[in-house]
Amino acid sequence: MLNKNSIIISKKKKKKNTGCVEFQIISFTKKIRALVPHFELHKRDYSSQRGLRKILEKRRRLLSYLKKKNVLDYQRLTRKLNIRELNEKEF
């Protein structure tokens, strides 16, 4: 049975829109930047390298999607995060 407090909490919106493409790209970029120093110390950590490659590929696909849908937001985000823009061949 639901009580009044659980309904109120479920109706509140989160401040961060985690489903937004821009938010996902930003969070993947933060994860990538956190993993890079780890590989300077642990060069043979192959399982973490595989995880990094998966995160990089997810971010690349999201960037590709954003570039197709809204070029201005894509350019603004790549400048803000200081990441390279995608080549046309990568689409």
Domains for the chain: give ranges and CATH numbers. 21-81 (1.10.287.10)
pTM score: 0.77
- Assess whether pLDDT exceeds 90 at residue 25: yes
- Assess whether pLDDT exceeds 70 at residue 63: yes
Euclidean distance between CA atoms 8 and 14, whole angstroms: 13
Buried/exposed 38-64: b ≥16 CB within 10 Å, e otherwise: eeeeeeeeeeeeeebeebeeebeebbe
- Assess whether pLDDT exceeds 90 at residue 90: no
